[in-house]
Structure 1
Amino acid sequence: MNFAILLSFLFVTVVAAAVSIYATRRQQQQTPVGFYLGNRSLGFWMIGSSMFLTNMSANQFIGENEFVYTTNMSVMAWGMSSILAMLIVAEFLMPMYLRIGAVTTPDFLAKRFDAQTQRIVSVIFLLGYFINLIPSVLYGCAVAINGIFHIDQWLGISYFSSIRLIVLIVGLVGCLYNILGGLRAITITDVVQGMGMLIGGSLIVWYGFRYLGDGSIWRGVETLTLFHREHLDAIGGREDVLPFGTIFTGMLLINIYYWGMEQYIVQEALASRNLKESQKGIALACVGKLFAPLLLNVPGLIAVHLYPSLENSATAFPRLVSDILPPVFIGLVAAVVFGGALSTFNAGLNSTGTLFTMNLYKPWLERKGQPADERKLLRSGKMLQVGVTIAAIFFSPYIMYFDGGFYNYLQKVSSFFSVPVFTIMVVGLLTKKVPPIAAKIGIVFFVTVYTATQFLFDTGLHYLHVLALLFFAVTGIMLLVGRVKPMEAAFVLPRRAAVSIIPWKTRYVYYVLLLLMMVGMFILFSPLGIAGA
């Protein structure tokens, strides 16, 4: 192993941790709000950086670059269309969350429907984190770190054993970091890591084009744009793995859910000191998404030219980093990947503790007539986090055997948990008399039918189109139930804001600019742009 790589990796990682420890040394975290929401004190820099970096996990580095390497740039649609979704969240959902003083996103469901619906959705969230989010983050980070440091070759062990070892180390470090630091420590680290990510992404593109062009950046750009143009197209055709039309169906639904209802993402915005900072932070995360292809997609395009026949396409990103960068910068990128994985892992663990403690354990204690002591709640949440970490460390290495590839695993599994929750949230927001039983029927119907379409029979439709059809079907069922058996009293949104809910006055100017740049990215990577003949 090159020790220059190791030293630079350790330096960046330790600096990020030291800044976090210094900035949070006087923070009080003895209550659930203090620990899980950072005392509602986050500014827009922390919110935007944390939301962006939480999304930019090792899963994205490995999965999207692998997709570009094997298919084309159509995978970019997930990130670019999320800009529209985030702006919708900033304008409509965040004011609602902050107005009711929400600690978790299912808090709205407790007020709109009933506590049982809130508990059901909390369990769905927790299952999603147990089965999909936390294990896949550990696996993706292990693949990237092994590809950069070649741990299996260095220690003389099998690839599977090296993945298991790295998963163990990352899981233990992440769990300790989360339990000792809480949300504020995570977000401060994310600000430092976010700057490192932008620097690392720029370095990969710079050195990647130089390597591809035999020392000439311009020749590298020409090579990328003149050959294998089929990989440059972000406008997926009907027969592609990700058709362009899916942006307007299931992809949009999943993105709005992800950025506006997924607890581990929204938690940073819920911890804002006011609505203005929350909206500015989300806009900052949108800016990050515009630069994300530097790390998530361009390396995959370069790898197409350098490695025409990789045996394991998931190694495209780490192998490229290992081959093109000087040792010091390899360590920087490895630290960024490690930091991105820790950010997502910690956010998932933090949200797991929040959901379990506030929506399941605390109500259970209250029903039993026992006092919900804040220290007891924190202790129980931390114990659950340890248990989840142990289970994820054991399970995550086996993701490599999933049929269909890592990225496919992520998208297929997450769909089971996202759209049903999104549907009942939307219906709850837009109607006043749809009863709680409608939400429960909708969840059961969605999960049952979607499972059947993915495992029992083939509809002939892309799974994102299936999700959109089920969204409308479940919406219709819930409205029908509301018509047949409406609530006696119309729902009125309570006002229990813990922070100021005055919106960001100049937000629309920035929203328009962000949307124009989003469209520009699609044009750039299309037949009208560099993918044209």
Structure 2
Amino acid sequence: MTADVMLPLADSGGQGMPDFTVRALDLSVIIGYLVLSRIIPLVVGSRMQKKAHAEAKASGGKDSDASEDYFLGGRNFIWPFVGLSLVATNMSGATFVGLAGGAYEQGISIFAYEWMSAVILVVFIFFILPFYLRSKVFTLPEFLEQRYDRRARMAFAGFNLFANMFIDMAAALFAGAVVVKVLYPDIPMIVSVAVLAILAAIYTVIGGLGAVMVSDSIQATITLLGGVIVLIATFNAIESWDSMAQVAGDEKMSLILPADHPDLPWPGLLTGVLVVGLYYWTTNQLVVQRTLGARSLDHGRWGSLLAGFIKLAFLFLFIFPGVMALSLYPNLENPDTVFPTLVFDLLPVGLRGLILAAVIAAITSTVDSILNSASTIVTMDFVKTLRPDTSQRGLVFSGRVATVVALVVAILWAPFIAQFDTLYNYLQSVLSFLVPPVVAVFLVGIASKRISATAAFLTLVIMQPLGLLMFIFTQVLPEEPSIQFLYAAGISTGLSVLLLVVVSLLGPSPDESKTAELTWKSEYWTEESQALRGTAAWANYRVLSVVLLLATAVIVVVWA
């Protein structure tokens, strides 16, 4: 019995048909990685929790409970784990498959979503993260209850579950299925999706966030290494940088595109990319949960900055290979097959297995994070809220059941994403219509104590259903979209802020107890400035933030 499978793919455009053969050595590498990546997180995560309990007992501090261990890892993660977990959660299969495919189709302008992330992470650690950690919440819907009321909490918790299953997890599973389809075209997509989901669920259900964070740190490292290898191989394959740039053309080698561009018009950077990024990095339970588990505010900030620096490297690791592929394979029918084409055409046996393992790492890393996020919301925002007497063991059991249910829903929905041109188009389009009300409720609510609970609730329950309807009627049903989705995000944000402010001004001022500790005050900045005096530059998050912003500016200016 042989493990070699010969596979066809799209026309490679004159470079010869790539040899799509999965060798026994490749499979051995993949299987070995999958086994180790299931075992190591469970063992290390368990040891970390035991060590945290022992340290808490020795110091006389408060020991964490079972639910805090399962959902937030005992709030004991240091900054490298926070940063790598943030990156791994973000580096789903959409990073390899989606970024390379998006770059092949529209050029390096797709990097806008990455460099904007660095800017947003700075905003996050300056003005938003301190309030999250001060509130000691498990979930962001819980934060909304502290700032507003239970209505806002339940409305946002419901949206989070919807987004986890139908947007985040379904997209990650679909990206993995695209790669599997290239390798094994006879396997139905639903089967590929189910297998990938089960691989991710193994340690999520058993180990909780502790196992997920350890797994994320390992898989982020493997994924970044895979990106470096593919970049080097692709660069060596092209004739020259200049000839590649000539084939790509000026538009595909520019970060800033004309205002009438169908995919990424430059005004859309502010009206859409910024809004979607603010949602993803500052109000999305999936991502923010990593920082909620940080040992301290400093560790949360340093970890976020580490993620920001790594995001800047995505231009070279994942986007430029997609653009280079234009000169190697100009006639690929499906842009989302660019990455597997590069791997099988340019890399030797064995190394292919490592890269495919990196892809699986990226996919399962995102899925395990989403599963943990969904189970946390179900347990802490619904079960514990509606049945407050539930035991710690009962809460953990509820989380595990919720994980399995969310998984099944995402498995069933993932194949429907195939109707979109590229995976990235699906992600950015649907988010642009759904998330502006969320961004408005969180950010304006932290910025102003005048925003009321009723205004927040109405903004969520009115604007989000409208956003879903607009997405269906302007993006899904017509043959061609009737409005550019990034512009739609700007319009929705403006209307959400208007509704939020008007309803607040028409009603009574919120109770001071709801706003005193959870809204911005200028004295916070003054007090922190005094506390930071004498702090070494390498440990001062403000200095590091300036360095990150300068690095971002240099990249944008050079490639504008």
TM-score for both structures, normalised by structure 2: 0.85
Partner residue, 1:432? 449
Per the TM alignment, residue 364 of structure 1 is displaced from its structure 2 partner at its CA by 0.9
The alignment status of 1:408 with 2:425, answered yes or no, reads yes
For structure 1, which segment, 469-478 or 88-97, has the greater mean C-alpha deviation from structure 2 after superposition?
469-478
Q: Write the distance in 2 (CA, Å) between the matches of 1:41 and 1:6.
A: 36
Say yes or no: does 1:134 pair with 2:156.
no
Instruction: Name the structure 2 match of 1:385.
Output: 403
Aligned CA distance change for structure 1 residues 416 and 245 (closer, same or farther; 3 Å): closer
Query: What amino acid maps onto 1:6 in structure 2?
Result: L
| One-letter amino acid of the counterpart of residue 26, structure 2 | I
CA 1:295/1:167 → structure 2, altered by over 3 Å: closer, same or farther?
farther
Cα contact 1:57–1:341 (8 A) shared by 2: yes
Partner residue of 1:492 out of 512, 515, 523: 515
Q: How far apart are residue 13 of structure 1 and its match?
A: 3.5
Q: Which has the higher contact order (CA 8 A, sep 6+)?
A: 1
Greater Cα shift, 5-14 or 107-116: 5-14
Distance in 2 of aligned mates of 1:390 and 1:449: 27
Among candidates 237, 244, 263, match of residue 224 of structure 1 = 244
Three-state SS of the structure 2 residue aligned to 1:244 is coil
Structure 2 residue 382 is matched with structure 1 residue 360: yes
CA shift for structure 1 position 376: 0.7
8 A contact 1:423–1:474 mirrored in 2: yes
1:176 alignment counterpart: 202
**Deviations 1:319-353, CA, capped at 9 Å, x for gaps:** 11111111222111111111111111011100101
Secondary structure of the residue aligned to 1:141 is helix
Aligned to 1:530: none
Q: Within 2, Cα distance between the matches of 1:19 and 1:197?
A: 17
**Would you say 1:517 and 2:535 are equivalent positions?**
no
State the shift of 1:183 in Å.
0.9
Q: Does structure 1 conserve the Cα–Cα contact (< 8 Å) formed by 2:99 and 2:110?
A: yes
| Aligned equivalent of 2:347 | 325
Q: How does 1:307-322 map to 2 (within 5 A)?
A: 307-322=329-344
1:460, distance to aligned residue in structure 2 (A): 6.5
Task: For residue 327 of structure 1, give the secondary structure of its aligned residue in structure 2.
Answer: coil
Quote the residue 2:97 is aligned against: 62
Residue 163 (str. 1) matches residue 189 (str. 2): yes
Which residue is equivalent to 1:212?
238
Shift of 1:398: 3.0
Question: What is the rounded CA distance, in whole Å, between the counterparts of 1:37 and 1:54 in structure 2?
Answer: 15
Moved more, 413-422 or 106-115: 413-422
Deviations 1:109-141 (A, max 9, x none): 101110121011000110111211111111111
Partner of 1:271: 293
> What secondary structure does 2:435 align onto?
helix
CA distance in 2, matches of 1:389, 1:427: 33
Offset, 1:145:
3.6
Q: CA deviation at 1:43?
A: 0.6
Match of 2:368 among 346, 363, 366: 346
Which residue among 438, 443, 457 is the counterpart of 2:460?
A: 443
Equivalent-residue separation in structure 2 for 1:255 and 1:345 (angstroms): 19
Q: CA deviation at 1:80?
A: 0.6
Kept in 2, the 8 Å contact 1:80–1:290? The answer is yes
Partner of 1:418: 435
Please give the alpha-carbon distance, in whole angstroms, between the structure 1 residues aligned to 2:375 and 2:503.
34
Number of the residue aligned with 2:159: 124
- The more displaced of 469-478 and 122-131 is 469-478
User: Does the 8 Å CA contact 2:144/2:153 hold for their aligned counterparts?
Assistant: yes
Aligned residues between the structures: 501
Partner of 1:114: 149
User: Quick one: which of 450, 471, 476 aligns to 2:493?
Assistant: 471
Secondary structure of the residue aligned to 1:106 is helix
Which residue matches 1:13?
34
Equivalent position of 1:239 in the other structure: 260
Q: Give me the TM-score of the superposition, normalised by structure 1.
A: 0.89
For 2:111, which of 60, 76, 83 is the aligned residue?
A: 76
Distance 1:223 1:3, change over 3 A: farther
Q: Which whole-Å CA distance do the structure 2 matches of 1:171 and 1:12 have between them?
A: 16
Q: Which runs of 4+ in 1 moved over 6 A?
A: 457-460, 501-504
Cα pair 1:145 1:338 within 8 Å, conserved: no
> Structure 2 matches for 1:19-38, cutoff 5 A?
19-26=40-47, 27=49, 31-38=66-73
- CA distance in 2 between counterparts of 1:525 and 1:354 reads 41
Deviations 1:290-314 (A, max 9, x none): 1112342122112111111112221
- Aligned partner of 1:46 in structure 2 is 81
* Contact 2:452/2:510 (8 A) holds in 1: no
Q: Does 1:483 align with 2:505?
A: yes
Q: Distance in 1 between matches of 2:209 and 2:474?
A: 43
Tell me, yes or no, if the aligned pair for 1:145 and 1:318 is still in contact at 8 Å.
Answer: no
Secondary structure of the structure 1 residue equivalent to 2:102: helix
CA distance in structure 1 between the partners assigned to 2:274 and 2:161 by the alignment? 23
CA distance 1:63–1:483, change in 2 (3 Å):
same
How far apart, in 2, do the equivalents of 1:296 and 1:20 lie?
26
Cα displacement string for residues 167-207 of structure 1 (whole angstroms, at most 9, x for unaligned residues): 12111111122111211111112222222222211111111
- Mapping for residues 144-159 of structure 1, pairs under 5 Å: 144-147=179-182, 150-152=183-185, 157=186
Does 1:262 pair with 2:254? no
Amino acid at match of 1:441: L
1:198 matches 2:224: yes
Partner of 1:394: 412
Q: Please list the CA deviations of residues 454-499 of structure 1 after superposition, one character each: whole Å capped at 9, or x if unmatched.
A: 444699753222222222222122222222212363343448xxxx
Mapped to 1, the partners of 2:404 and 2:45 lie a distance apart of 22
Residues 31-65 of structure 1, C-alpha deviation per residue, up to 9 Å, x if partnerless? Answer: 11100100011011100000011101002222221
Write the letter of the residue equivalent to 2:231. V
Distance 2:200 2:99 in 1: 23
How far apart, CA to CA, are the structure 1 residues paired with 2:227 and 2:420? 30
Question: What residue identity is the alignment partner of 2:86?
Answer: M
Provide the C-alpha distance between the structure 1 equivalents of 2:195 and 2:545, rounded to a whole number of angstroms: 41
Letter in 1 for 2:430: V
Question: How many angstroms does 1:11 deviate by?
Answer: 3.1
Structure 1 stretch displaced more, 52-61 or 387-396: 387-396
CA RMSD of aligned residues (A): 2.2
Q: What percentage of residue pairs aligned between the two structures are identical?
A: 26
Relative to structure 1, is the Cα distance of residues 392 and 452 closer, same or farther in structure 2, using a 3 angstrom cutoff?
closer
- 2:86–2:290 Cα contact (<8 Å) kept: yes
Q: Report if aligned partners of 1:104, 1:263 keep a CA contact under 8 Å in 2.
A: yes
Shift of the 387–449 alpha-carbon distance from structure 1 to 2, 3 Å rule, reads closer
Name the SS for the 1:249 alignment partner.
Answer: helix
Task: Tell me which moved more, 464-473 or 45-54.
Answer: 464-473
Structure 1 counterpart of 2:390, one-letter code: A
